[in-house]
Amino acid sequence: MQVTFKDVTLSYDGKRDILKHLNFVIQEGSLVCLLGPSGGGKSTTLNLISGLLAPTGGHIFFDDADVTKKDALGRKVGMVFQNYALYPHLTVLKNIEFPLKMAKMSKADRTKRAKELAALVHVEDQLDKKPGELSGGQQQRVAIARALAKEPSILLLDEPLSNLDARLRIEMREEIRRIQRETGVTTVFVTHDQDEAMHISDQIMVLHDGHIQQFSTPKKLYASPDNLFVAQFIGEPVINSIPATALNHDLAGIVPDSILTQAQTAGIRPEALTLPQRALDPLVTLHGKVLEFDQFGRESTANIDYNGYQLISTEMSQLAHDTKELDFTLEKKGFFLFDADGKRIFGGDTPMVLVGDQSAQKDPAAAPTESGGDTHAE
């Protein structure tokens, strides 16, 4: 089912808007993550899709049908809650059967269907146990089977992995991806864990402050963040962000003045700082002092002082341990400039027009910073 939000606004108290004029389209059959810090409106958005909450303004469509006024049952959504919300007094089989029983399916049919679902999520040998006897991961599987039982129009998962330990979390996120692929059900997944989101989603919607910050593929979110918030939220270690003025001297004559004067903050991914001999597509060479250099196994972190600002690089494993000062390369990929509003004005998928570059005549200011196809908040 394709889900469309048109100008959806939500306010609990009528004064402060929790969500502000949300517009987006979730494609049928895709797995979409709602990602953002707490209080950003992720769960609220999920509840609006589910029908547990009604928007204060705007319209919600499932395919072409306006479902704004319909409740969760009318929308036929399936939902998995953070604490799984299994019925503790019913066996696993009865839990999975419950929605089918409510839909008045005959006993034989619903048992058959419940067993199929149990097999899909790999709990077929736990059918007679009560939820309390299962591990967290198994409870999660049962909750997914129950949500899928009535062949939902859309499957919604509200922070489904946050109650699991680290190892199980990785296993279950692969499982969710597998189950989603096998069933082809449109899935929306809420998480505050960017790693989780980056690994399983077709598309990620970053929500913050009631606005969609960016809605695109994980790859694009990383390589081409629309704004400073997204750049800082996505990526581990966190992107280096320093005042653009610190780079003014080195970038003058390379990045056009029209951009440099607008730029407020520079974002540099830790892997965009390399040693000159390893550089792939250099933008400029910088000079700095080594503050700290750690190497552990295949990974290394160099902490470099550049014009009084600290920069972290993960690409300097070749660095000699006694290096005090060095020239290092700033790569084009992974370098962004943001204006005073935090909007990206240089780098990413904006065609890079450099000073003296004859091949591209386009005015960079007119270049689209947002690609078509994706939908953005206003």
Residues making contact with other proteins (CB under 8 A): 50, 52, 71-73, 77-79, 81-83, 85, 87-89, 98-99, 102-103, 146-147, 150
Residue 174: enclosing H or E segment and its boundaries?
Answer: helix 166-183
> DSSP strand E in 102-184: where?
154-158
Nearest approach, Cβ of 60 to other proteins (angstroms)? 16
Nearest approach, Cβ of 123 to other proteins (angstroms)? 17
Nearest approach, Cβ of 61 to other proteins (angstroms)? 19
Nearest approach, Cβ of 81 to other proteins (angstroms)? 4
Cis peptide before 237 (omega within 30 of 0): yes
Report the residue number, 60 or 272, with the smaller CB distance to other proteins: 60
- Cβ 351 vs Cβ 362: under 8 Å: yes
Report the residue number, 19 or 147, with the smaller CB distance to other proteins: 147
Nearest approach, Cβ of 293 to other proteins (angstroms)? 48
- Cβ 46 vs Cβ 34: under 8 Å: yes
Report the residue number, 71 or 325, with the smaller CB distance to other proteins: 71
Nearest approach, Cβ of 99 to other proteins (angstroms)? 4
Report the residue number, 152 or 235, with the smaller CB distance to other proteins: 152
- Cβ 31 vs Cβ 199: under 8 Å: no
Report the residue number, 88 or 297, with the smaller CB distance to other proteins: 88
CA–CA separation, 366 and 378 (whole Å): 19
Nearest approach, Cβ of 98 to other proteins (angstroms)? 5
Distance of CA 25 to the CA centre of its chain: 15
Place of tokens 């400039």: 337
User: Which of helix, strand or coil describes residue 97?
Assistant: helix
Question: Which residues are within 8 A (CB) of 369 and not within 5 positions of it... i.e. 6 or more apart?
Answer: 226, 343, 344, 345, 348, 350
Question: Which residues are within 8 A (CB) of 336 and not within 5 positions of it... i.e. 6 or more apart?
Answer: 225, 231, 266, 267, 268, 344, 346, 347, 348
- Cβ 206 vs Cβ 190: under 8 Å: no
Report the residue number, 51 or 235, with the smaller CB distance to other proteins: 51
Per the structure block, which two tokens stand in for 325?
């000062």
- In 3D space, the residue among 210, 246, 206 whose CA is nearest the CA of residue 227 turns out to be 206
Report the residue number, 154 or 251, with the smaller CB distance to other proteins: 154
Per the structure block, which two tokens stand in for 281?
């597509």
Nearest approach, Cβ of 45 to other proteins (angstroms)? 15
Report the residue number, 52 or 279, with the smaller CB distance to other proteins: 52
Nearest 5°: CA angle at 329, between 327 and 335?
140
Nearest approach, Cβ of 167 to other proteins (angstroms)? 25
Per the structure block, which two tokens stand in for 306?
């550049």
Per the structure block, which two tokens stand in for 87?
């019925």
Report the residue number, 71 or 236, with the smaller CB distance to other proteins: 71
